[in-house]
Amino acid sequence: MTKQPDTFLKSRLKSFKYAFNGLSEGWRELNFRIHIVAAGVAILLGLVLGISRDEWLAVVIVIGLVLFAELVNTSLERLADVVSPQWDDRIKVVKDVAAAAVFVAALMALVVGVVVFVPPLIALFV
């Protein structure tokens, strides 16, 4: 039996609700908010400097990557805290690896930022 169209639509809308709940949880994390501010600065800088379409793609991709990594890190930390509320060296490894994923994504974003923004910034002052 197939779902009725209105049931299908309601289930899709619920999935968006869950996604926004997840974003809300991410927002509670200081590091997520810091990354949002950094993304805003990068977007503003891109607008001011008039970066190319390809540069925009690189900037948007690394912004998405960093935010994605931060949300996955948050979810893994929350899950680990439920699975093992007491100290566990194995849980520490899980949390450390998830944090490392955010770190790697942020380093990639930094490299893209340097490649995209430093040359036009230098040209402004030279």
State residue 1's pLDDT score: 55
CATH class, 23-125 region = mainly alpha
State residue 2's pLDDT score: 60
The domain ranges of the chain are 23-125
State residue 3's pLDDT score: 60
State residue 66's pLDDT score: 98
Q: Between vectors from CA 72 to CA 65 and to CA 46, what angle results, nearest 5°?
A: 25
Query: pTM score, two decimals?
Result: 0.89
Instruction: Decide if 116 contacts 58 (C-beta within 8 A).
Output: yes
Catalytic residues: 70
Q: What is the mean pLDDT of each run of 10 residues along the chain (126 residues)?
A: 73 90 96 98 98 98 98 97 96 98 98 98 93
Q: Between vectors from CA 96 to CA 21 and to CA 60, what angle results, nearest 5°?
A: 55
